[in-house]
Amino acid sequence: MIATILIIGAGQAGAQAIDTLRREGFKGRLVLVGDEPHLPYQRPPLSKKFLSGDMPAERLPFRHQSFYDDHGVELKLGVSALKCDPAARRVTLSTGETVDYDRLLLCLGADSRRLTCPGADLAGVHYLRGIADVPAIQAGLKPGARVVVIGGGYIGLETAATARTRGCTVHVLEMADRVMNRVVAANVSEYFAHEHRTQGVKIVCNTRVVRLEGNGRVERVVCAEGDSYETDLLIVGVGAIANTQIAREAGLACDNGIVVDEYCRTSDPAIYAAGDCTYHPSLRFDQRVRLESVDNAFEQAKTAALNMLDRPTVHDRVPWFWSDQFDNKLLIVGLSQGHDQQVTRGDPATRSFTVCYLKGGELLAVEAINHSKDYMAARKLIAERARPNLDKLADPTVALKDSC
Amino acid sequence: MPTIHFVLADGSQRSVTAPAGTSLMEAARQNRIPGVIAQCGGACVCATCHVYVELAWLNRLAPPDDMESGMLESAWEPRANSRLACQVPLTQALDGIVARVPARQAD
């Protein structure tokens, strides 16, 4: 009998697992451990509306305290899990307390990749991952402040847009030859770089940061090419690494994340994992992936919860992502790696267009800029392995859903 | 605080209150209204907070923008009074609004 389910990690996945477990009738002891001293909250607004001050802190949590009280959830917030003993099915917490479990769900998330160059340990080097990171960044977002963002990915560009909107002078330093180079097509990168430049953000590509300088506090970013940037506020967004330490130390299989199967089971039959920390099979794309995505955290948590209750359920999703930058919405669905064809629908000059990727005639992924219709249609078509007619696909007057 | 009446897919009704300035979606989520999933948390990118707003209330709302309309096309069984609850800000003027929850949400 499953008497106790312990969930480590109080983010999107942890919160969703609680919801599913109780909704599906689990009556046993349910413990949620989270190392931040906050009720489970939404992370996407941290680089968007919460950072800009347009969303108050009380709107971040998924649910109020009363939800957890009413559903008999033992919240242990501001508490870390230090050690897991799979043989004894016991977890030791930072409070010294131990919790014995019948099923354990790891929702450990990912943490910011840190700079390693000289000066990286100076004060004033900011990363954006949790609520606690926000006040110091917000305090620096003053009109005229010189903001430098290292990394032209989602977090970097969203933060840059927010800083620019607040009247800061903003430089984005990107190592690759274009922004968001790992996640979008070249013309999408070009579009977003243009949008940022139009708003006054200075984007510098092909540049590698070699050191940070300052007297106790970072004042200057120096690049390999010899150029340097004075800064009042430095924000680093150079990717994330899955949190796997407790899993590795417990002997669970890990490889770019905690290895799970399509049932979200780890290599230990009593331990499951969900969300950004997992390295999991994508059935649609026939490869193992690690995703930083709300949808993936939400859906894997649901799947894991059902499987923990011995209701066999498979995680089979087409991944999707979004980013808000100024008044633009970037919507991405599918995984474009391995495509052999690329078709752009519409004209970027209209500020609304869509890039479609195909492989062997099948629709593989779509990047829709300010175009929710194409994006929603693509979610269905990609799951169905639809094969669009190329002439129709390239014609933006034909609805994407009618191109197949 | 405005009161919101949610009519669930089984015909039962749940009445809740929520602060003005929050959204219809947040009222549903905080009160765990069954059938409103609200996966993306209000970014208008998932279409899982789709509701049918009673006609008497519909014309008191600002019409959906292009982004919301595009999402609604692929919502589960969209109708003329379909809205994404995350795009409906609550005001005192909406005190008493009635929203029906569909039997399903988009996948």
Q: pLDDT (tens digit, 9 = 90+) per residue, B47-92?
A: 999 999 999 999 999 999 999 999 999 999 999 999 999 999 999 9
**What are the φ/ψ torsions at residue A332 (nearest 5 degrees)?**
-125, 135
Asked if residue B91 belongs to a domain, the reply is yes
Tell me the CA distances in angstroms from A30 to A73, A83, A126, one per residue in order: 5, 19, 35
SS3 A254: strand
CB contact (8 A) between residue B46 and residue A295? yes
CATH of the domain at B77: 3.10.20.30
- Predicted pLDDT of residue A49: 94
Residues whose CB falls within 8 Å of the CB of residue A20, separated by 6 or more in sequence, listed in order: A301, A302, A305, A306
CA–CA separation, A39 and A15 (whole Å): 9
Judge whether B20 is closer than 8 Å to chain A, CB to CB. Answer: no
Among B45, B46, B73, pick the best mutation site for testing chain A contact (most A Cβ within 10 A).
Answer: B45
Radius of gyration of chain B (CA): 12
Where in the sequence is the domain holding B81, given as residue range(s)?
Answer: 3-100
The answer to pTM > 0.95 is yes
ipTM of the complex: 0.95
Report the relative pairing of strands A98-100 and A90-93 from DSSP bridges.
Answer: antiparallel
pLDDT in tens, chain A (404 residues): 899 999 999 999 999 999 999 999 999 999 999 999 999 999 999 999 999 999 999 999 999 999 999 999 999 999 999 999 999 999 999 999 999 999 999 999 999 999 999 999 999 999 999 999 999 999 999 999 999 999 999 999 999 999 999 999 999 999 999 999 999 999 999 999 999 999 999 999 999 999 999 999 999 999 998 999 999 999 999 999 999 999 999 999 999 999 999 999 999 999 999 999 999 999 999 999 999 999 999 999 999 999 999 999 999 999 999 999 999 999 999 999 999 999 999 999 999 999 999 999 999 999 999 999 999 999 999 999 999 999 999 999 999 999 99
Asked if residue B106 belongs to a domain, the reply is no
Asked if residue B10 belongs to a domain, the reply is yes
Name the domain count of chain B.
1
Q: pLDDT (tens digit, 9 = 90+) per residue, A10-49?
A: 999 999 999 999 999 999 999 999 999 999 999 999 999 9
CB contact (8 A) between residue A377 and residue B41? no
Among A372, A374, A402, pick the best mutation site for testing chain B contact (most B Cβ within 10 A).
Answer: A372
- Predicted pLDDT of residue A1: 86
All residues of chain A having their beta carbon less than 8 Å from the beta carbon of residue B39 are 294-295, 298
CA-nearest of A165, A172, A173, A171 to A143 is: A165
Asked if the model's pLDDT at residue B24 lies above 90, the reply is yes
Q: Which two tokens stand for residue A390?
A: 């190329």
CA-nearest of A166, A155, A164, A325 to A235 is: A155
Asked if the model's pLDDT at residue B107 lies above 90, the reply is no
CA–CA separation, A204 and B35 (whole Å): 46
- With tokens 């209330």, the residue in question is B57
Q: Which two tokens stand for residue A16?
A: 């969703």
CA–CA separation, B25 and B7 (whole Å): 14
CB neighbours (10 Å) of residue A183?
Answer: 17
CB-neighbour burial class of residue A138 (10 A; exposed 0-12, middle 13-18, buried 19+): middle
CA–CA separation, A158 and A135 (whole Å): 17
CA–CA separation, A61 and A400 (whole Å): 36
Asked if residue B107 belongs to a domain, the reply is no
SS3 B81: coil
Q: pLDDT (tens digit, 9 = 90+) per residue, A178-191?
A: 999 999 999 999 99
Asked if residue B105 belongs to a domain, the reply is no
- Predicted pLDDT of residue A66: 95
